[in-house]
Amino acid sequence: MTLRKGVSKKWLCLVLIAGILVSMLSACGAFSERDPLELQTFLEVMEEHGFEIVDYTNALTGELEDLISLYLIAVSPGGSYQIEFIEHHTEAGAQAVFAGTRQNAEALLGNASSNSAVNGVNHNTYRQTSAGLYSQLLRVDNIVIFVLGADVEYRDEIRAKFDLMS
């Protein structure tokens, strides 16, 4: 009888821990699906905040031309930072660019840094503050939007722009 109670307590403990883990992952978006990013929303937010939008799509050559269907760079007023919008022909292409851009951000790591990442059903996010620089990346389906190595003083402003777009 005591063995049965011990197993029941262990089972209850495992179920409780599993429930907590599922709740935590759900809360951070790991099981959720994000709404698609819209080009029109990106353009409206950037123009509303005085960004200059430059279309680099026609400047792409070779393999990049085959992978990317749209490449826009929005330069902040005063040129302090830029937000890049890349639409890929496939989700796999967007995932590869997200991973490569994240590696570029991680290359900027200094001694004191903080970062956060979420990998969801149809999206990835990554934020990093380090050595006075801020990077933020977002991929939803086949679109990647990112800021790489902006001065940390613009972090809140950049986060606000990303919140408006997603």
State the pTM of this model: 0.79
What is the arrangement of strands in the sheet containing 133-140, beginning at the earlier edge strand? Answer: 52-55, 68-75, 82-88, 143-151, 133-140, 123-130, 113-119
In the structure, what pLDDT confidence band is assigned to residue 39 with cuts at 50, 70 and 90?
very high
Ordered by start, the domain boundaries in the chain are: 1-31, 39-165
122-163: per-residue pLDDT in tens?
999 999 999 999 999 999 999 999 999 999 999 999 999 999
39-165: what fold? Protein Transport Mog1p; Chain A (3.40.1000)
Encode burial over 58-89: b for 16+ CB neighbours within 10 A, e otherwise.
eebeeeeeebbbebbbbbbeeeebbbbbbbbe
